[in-house]
Structure 1
Amino acid sequence: MLTCKPASDPESSPDAMASRRMLLGSGLALLAGASLLAGCGSAPRKTRTSQRRRSGPAGTVPLRTSTPEVAVINPVQIDATLREEAVARALLAVNVPYSYGGNTLEGGFDCSGLVQYVFSGFAGRALPRSTAQWARASLPRDIGQLQRGDLVFFNTSGTSFSHMGIYLGNRQFVHAPSSGGVVRTDRIDNSYFAPRFDGGRTVFL
């Protein structure tokens, strides 16, 4: 069963990994030393493009506003008093390794497996497993109404709702991003996720 396609963020993309391997094979130590000296000598040059894209704290960009719709089928309904417990469970998973199809602290997580783990035992019913199933089992939430514990979705593979995480507030979310990575927090409005944002949704009553 399709669970959650890894988010191909720049830190863990195949191209980036291949580039790192090539650098290692051709004298990484020398290059790293030169880079370090160059980086210490001057601040990064600001371009008009980076200045134009900024809309808030440094490095943030506007969220995509055209988000896909999905029919809600048999929504998961969880008591809103459990929001903070859900967030605490999600944060306990930070630094657990990514594992495709994983949904346990011991075996690792993919993105929808992390969400399934966080809400297990809260709903009194079988929970969705794939990102698309979670989208159909949750209610849309306007970005200005997102609360801690709500769900955020992204299109990271050319398919709507292909990646998800749990909202922490202040435009931050926790998720299991990609192979070779670990569960971590990121901003929904960073340069990678903002243009891929598929909207926020909730399972809380």
Structure 2
Amino acid sequence: MIKKILFSTLIAICTLSTAFAQTKTKESGKELNDPDNLASQYFSQVMGVAVDATSNLKLYKFIYEWIGTPYSYGGNTKRGIDCSAFTKAIYDKVFNTTIRRNSRDIFSMVDPLSKEDLKEGDLVFFKIKSRSISHVGIYLGDNRFAHASSSRGVVISNLNEPYYSRYFYKGGRVLESFKKEFTVE
């Protein structure tokens, strides 16, 4: 509830600052009353992720709306969701791309990447206490990723946390051939 109030307040501030701005003040080349800049600052502070002018605000808004949703194996609603359903929902709604439903099948759709080559929107895969891929999330930058954790629900975590560092397998970027094959226009 508090999260929704804060988000509504942000939207109201963005709208008011745009509507009532008489002059535009510039700081470091960015307009202070720019709604996208305000949203970037908000998500940077609330989510602990460096969100800048090149970031996909739609991605951060989507994740913010799901933060705290409980984990439910096989779930795909706000009452409960698992990691692959959360990742699939992001790709559907934010990137207008349909990906497969489980983490192993999703991995078959990507060009594997090392941790150093990850960019915002790439996928991160884990082999948690398993020989095969068992977990997936969305990379946000600064070693942070959003995912549906089995113990904490939808959260933002750090790849450098000992737990995730231990089980990290690879990153991945969805191949263009799959984007065309699965995307509905």
1:186, distance to aligned residue in structure 2 (A): 1.1
Q: Which has the larger radius of gyration?
A: 1
Contact 1:84 1:149 (8 Å CA) reproduced: no
Q: Point out where structure 2 has 5 or more consecutive residues left out of the alignment.
A: 1-53, 177-185
Contact 1:151 1:167 (8 Å CA) reproduced: yes
1:141, distance to aligned residue in structure 2 (A): 2.1
Aligned with residue 169 of structure 2, among 178, 188, 198: 198
Higher strand share: 2
The structure with higher relative contact order (CA 8 Å, sep 6+) is 1
Structure 2 match to 1:187: 158
Structure 2 match to 1:147: 119
1:88, distance to aligned residue in structure 2 (A): 3.1
For these two proteins, the number of residue pairs brought into alignment is 123
1:85 aligns to 2:64 (yes or no): no
Question: Identity percentage over the alignment?
Answer: 33
1:140, distance to aligned residue in structure 2 (A): 1.4
Aligned residue for 2:84, secondary structure, equals helix
- What is the rounded CA distance, in whole Å, between the counterparts of 1:101 and 1:201 in structure 2? 23
Aligned residue for 1:157, secondary structure, equals coil
1:92, distance to aligned residue in structure 2 (A): 2.2
Higher helix share: 2
Aligned with residue 102 of structure 2, among 113, 118, 130: 130
Aligned residue for 1:176, secondary structure, equals strand
1:126, distance to aligned residue in structure 2 (A): 4.6
The amino acid that maps onto 2:62 is: R
- List structure 1 segments (4+ residues) > 6 angstroms apart after TM superposition: none
Deviations 1:179-198 (A, max 9, x none): 5x321111111111111110
TM-score, normalization by structure 2: 0.59
Could you say if the C-alpha distance between residues 173 and 125 of structure 1 is closer, same or farther in structure 2, counting changes exceeding 3 Å?
closer
1:125, distance to aligned residue in structure 2 (A): 6.3
Structure 2 match to 1:71: none
Structure 1 match to 2:74: 101
Deviations 1:81-122 (A, max 9, x none): 9954234322321101111111222x3211101001111156
Aligned with residue 134 of structure 2, among 162, 171, 175: 162
Could you say if the C-alpha distance between residues 185 and 82 of structure 1 is closer, same or farther in structure 2, counting changes exceeding 3 Å?
closer
The amino acid that maps onto 1:166 is: I
Structure 2 match to 1:171: 143
Root mean square deviation of aligned Cα: 2.4
